[in-house]
Copies of this chain bind each other. A is one copy, B any other.
Amino acid sequence: MFADPTVTLEPELRERPGMWADAIPGRDEQQALKRKAIVRAAARLMSRRGSHGATLDDVADRLGVSKAALYRYVSNKNDLILACHEEALAIAERCLDHGEEKGATGLEKIRLGLRSYLVEMIRELGVPALILEENVLQGDAAERNYANRDTYEQRMRRLVAEGQRDGSIVQSEPKIAVFMLLGSIHWLAKWYCPDGDWQPEQVADAIVELATRALEPSPAERLSAELHAGAGTGP
């Protein structure tokens, strides 16, 4: 299982089962998988306790590895936060690729992109990690992170403009429209409970349908997402 000669493991790493949260199925992707396991554990811890409520020790503990093992991948808290943001933005970009491929209009591309982003974020990281304190990042890490985020936001704005040209989106300030959408989905980190009744897909459907409805020139009066359709009109 640990045949990769570039990876030197402590004895305890070879002996204990269930380490790295059982995220090591193969051989070549070990590094990437470990990094993903770290990001996932960190995002969940930090979203619950705040970024300074989760230490590297907590993350190592959650993963069932030693702090020394963890240090091969991240050297401090900023690394962790940066890794969470990078993973989140990578998911966001990939999902927007999917939206652009499958959607016929600007609005459809945005809907598909946000919907899959939200589902994948919850499944992969537990919460939308971009709400984590990016302002603690410094130097090159901060620059790179802001640049990546800007790239994503600008891509979203171009899709809003595209939707305005193809008639699927109302005339509106694209920057405001994009931030309204991003806020409505990332706020999930403040309230969504992965152990609750609502599945990621149900929540993603309901939020994205409602939020993007704001941009539709003439939206249908009935919402189709399961959570909305099933909601009563009483208190």
Integer count of this chain's copies in the complex: 2
Q: Is the CB of B223 within 8 A of A171?
A: yes
CA distance A110 to B179 in the complex (A): 20
Which of the segments A11-19, A22-30, A65-73, A212-220 contacts the partner chain?
A212-220
**Are A173 and B234 CB-contacts (below 8 A) given A135-B48, A183-B188, A184-B183?**
no
Interface string of A204-235 (1 = CB under 8 A from B): 00110011111101110111000111110111
Q: Does A36 contact B (CB under 8 A)?
A: no
Q: Is the CB of A50 within 8 A of B228?
A: no
Which residues of A (140-168) have their CB < 8 Å from a CB of B? 158, 161-162, 164-165
Question: Closest Cβ of chain B: how far from A145's Cβ, in Å?
Answer: 12
A interface with B by C-beta (< 8 Å):
47-53, 131, 133-136, 158, 161-162, 164-165, 170-174, 176-177, 179-188, 190-191, 203, 206-207, 210-215, 217-219, 221-223, 227-231, 233-235
